[in-house]
Structure 1
């Protein structure tokens, strides 16, 4: 953990904040969120470790499905809930740079989940360990650097509302379509097209996936059209010099 502290200090961000004599309600809320983080990290770790220990093909397939399902139905909605609750509050108390880093980690985690679903066997098991470790470290950063400062910044009567806010946003996020956008930027170039192919092949007629990339995705469009002639329509937009989006729609 000391390395994590040094990294944040060197970036000019914040050092850990303790609640000190803050009322018991703040300690309760912090404890509840920390416990939830620990529960999620533990489940990911157990599943990833089980895959990495050489499970049979049948066992591996079952573990991989459970791992992927948990990431999409719990971890990603939790991340979205944080973005629309805790992170917004954190930006208002001088943690904008830290929040920017945490948002990047959310995008990175989402991209790695997409990549995980394109792999099999030992490669998939190895990536599951990476995903588990990324989430665990990310949650520790929130516990140390964001949550205490946010909880210390609000009036006593609003402390409990933060937990309720997270729970409401989590419920809302679980009902959203989590897989509609694929951010390719954190992925290695060799893995990008396979991630997109996996996504678009699961689309029903009229369904769409929006791809975010750091260069013009025309080559991807040409490859899709060559593999599935006329099956998909693509619209490319340039957001800025290094950001492009491409909406891929299943025809029919």
Structure 2
């Protein structure tokens, strides 16, 4: 080279891969993402139970990679389609903003969006609330006799059936002045009330009253009165 010669640099763009290669790459990425979701569900039973609440077929196919991919793809396609329809509907409504009906529908869409945001927040921060709640039984002792009591804080009183009262040897304390009839879905005869008997939950001993009533399917139903006693003792 000599003085004052000029060098020209040219940046050459890499050739774009063929469309078929792009599609294969996108398909591979999607497959990897779906497989990550499937493996995450396999390793997280709580997540799997949560998915089962809304997509039972998807949760049932977690051990079948091909079926799982097929179902998850359909779910995602349906979601994208629904979002597209909602977007088009919102655009149509915004084209006529002074129409009263359009304003009402726009408000409905905004409210639906708020509901979905609230749902997503609950799913992220409090997924336990979407689980299935089973009936709650707790092991207790009444007058030294072991029982599995059914917890029902919606019931006002703690109810014991007559056979359980006999087994706990507290039937002699029954106050028949509190006889009556309980009415709800059906009727049941109230034999009376035991005003105080020792109840043990864990290591705590608590005085508890019982309404002795016929026709109950459980030995002992812990109602709101006993629940409040337990909670006060735990708090203090």
Larger radius of gyration: 2
Higher relative contact order, chain-length normalized (CA < 8 Å, sep 6+) = 1
Higher strand proportion (structure 1 or 2)? 2
- How high is the TM-score relative to the length of structure 1? 0.27
